[in-house]
Chain A
Amino acid sequence: MVAALEAHGFGKRYPRRTWALRGVDLAVPDGSITALVGPNGSGKSTLIRSWIGFERPTEGSLLTGGVNPRRDRKGAVARVGYVPQSPSLYGGLTIADHIALAVTLRDGFDPTLAAGYVERLSIPLTATAGELSGGEQAQVGLALALGTRARILLLDEPLASLDPLARREFLHVLVEAVRAEGHTALLSSHVITDIEQACDRLIVLGKGHTLLDLSIAEALAHHRVVDGSGAPAIAAERVVGSFPSPGGDPLTLVRVRPAEAVPADGLADERPATLEEVVIGHMAAGRVRRAARRAEEAA
């Protein structure tokens, strides 16, 4: 597997704070659309910002398209198109101005491509950024990132403030562009249904470390859900974590080997897990492990 983005023992600690991330080892395969999921404060943004050279690792190293952003930030930025959670456009500039600005800032920026994406969504190029809705601003941010023709796209929770239709349109443009050009995209998001539609790989970050790193298909094939939190008949090593259903009933996420349709110790009420349950189960497990570690440290 050729990796577009790599982290090797990566750790980041902000001054006078605890570690935001520590010991992160992961690789985002070239040509994939990978979802980066995790609870608030799990270090998703820190990791993404570090790949573009906006943050410096406290320990370990990163590679962005084979370039270490700490040693060669210019090289890393040149390989990346970045869409932050808030697109932070210039309120007084028109969209055409933003595209012109990008041309002045980046050699090889494709204004026709960027303008094409904007116009496809019926966003007038003559409108100022201040006149656009949050969804439209996010689309412009994505169009600017795509206009860079960078091989790697880093998207830091761009869907967070968008309504469902805007999210769908955003993902449609993203997936189409990435598939057409053979790019790599890393999409940080909380919205699991969107991830399931758009992404082919899933990375779940706990508070500061990796909890899961699988393809979406593997993530679904390797997990099942059992009603009830106790599930005493299931071997302990198969239990990932317990969490409540939307109705409040306890559920347990368990691992299965992909070849097993029903595991040897499987229960009658086991059923396939949804991607959301996989993510939540691993997050819940991460929380339990963290609490146990804290208790251990306190003791």
Chain B
Amino acid sequence: MLTATRLTYRINLFEIRAIGIATVLSVVVSAAVIGWLAQSGYASCTGDEFGNVSARCHSLAAIGDWVMRIDRTSVSLAAIFPFVAGLLLGAPLVARELDRGTARLAWSLSPSRLRWYVQRIAPMMVVLGIAAMAIGIVADRLVGAMLPTEDLANSFVGFHGRGVLLATSALMIGSTAVALGTVIGRPMQTLLISLVVGGLLVTAVAEVDQKLLMPSETVVDASNNYSDRNLYIDSRFQLPDGSLATWEELVALDPGAMENGTNYPNVSLIIPGERYRAVETRQAVAELGIAALMLVAGALVVLRRRPG
């Protein structure tokens, strides 16, 4: 298995190097940013009621603004890492072998195509998982460095853009690209179609979770104070009997509300930040499940298809 893993890495050297270098660079830069912010305490620098900042914060501003900018950019880039890494490592994995005919050589040597498939997929998924997990942890720390007072274990700040969900999204997108590659057999077409399908899947997991499972966890926030800490779901109008109504339902009940405005209080439906870990775990498991299904589908195609 060690030889097979080594050869798989050599066959996909460009992609492994690209993702490896991107990950290491990201970790190094982020470590520097996080270290500087933690040491300087610059993230806590805020003005008083008149907007005056302390002399210490003022002296740090020249560097601090840049560091904060790098932090924010890094967090934004981390959010797209699952797509970049998943597509780059997953799309060519089988598709290129079919396109270049090396699958034909391998399948003529190996009575078990499944063995070949596992030899290709397993090492790459490990690399993808480790790289995306590293970026997920880094993104978590970067958000924490920007918001030192925020308890990120109980907050939806940066939801989907940090932590374990980055790794599971990357694995889901990567597996989708692998499965599509077994059918399409052309790397570039696989990459483009996987980009669309991967995006749809990430959205679908969040949407399905929100529609099916989140309603049981949703609470009414009468203060209507929007906070990144909670996951905002929707807003409603609260009727005198305490029940909630959408705008359309309200207009149907009280046609005057359309013309005269409404005095009904507007409330938010939110998932409280305390539920972050539960929601994150649930979506991560869903994404891993889809990833596993995609890899099984890819294996079934490999077992049946012509080598090109």
Contacts and interface: CB of A to CB of B under 8 A. Distances in A.
B116 A54 contact: no
Query: Looking at A73, A104, A148, which has the most chain B CB atoms within 10 Å of its CB?
Result: A104
Given A54-B307, A90-B11, A105 B102 contact: no
A58 B274 CA distance: 61
Interface residues of A, number: 33
A55 B101 contact: no
A88 B108 CA distance: 12
B7 interface: yes
Interface in A70-125: 73-75, 77-78, 80-82, 84, 86-90, 92-93, 97, 100-106, 109
Given A106-B109, A106-B110, A88 B100 contact: yes
Given A92-B11, A93-B7, A82 B108 contact: yes
B112 interface: yes
A224 B106 CA distance: 45
A52 interface: yes
B72 interface: no
A174 B306 CA distance: 27
A147 to B, nearest CB: 9
B282 interface: no
B115 interface: yes
A202 to B, nearest CB: 25
A73 B119 CA distance: 20
A141 interface: yes
Interface string B155-174: 00000000000000000000
A62 interface: no
Given A84-B101, A87-B105, A77 B111 contact: yes
A144 interface: yes
Nearest to A75: B111
Interface string B95-134: 0000011101111111110011001000000000000000
Contact of A52 (B11, B108, B116): B108
8 contacts: A84-B101, A84-B104, A87-B105, A92-B11, A100-B7, A104-B4, A104-B7, A105-B116
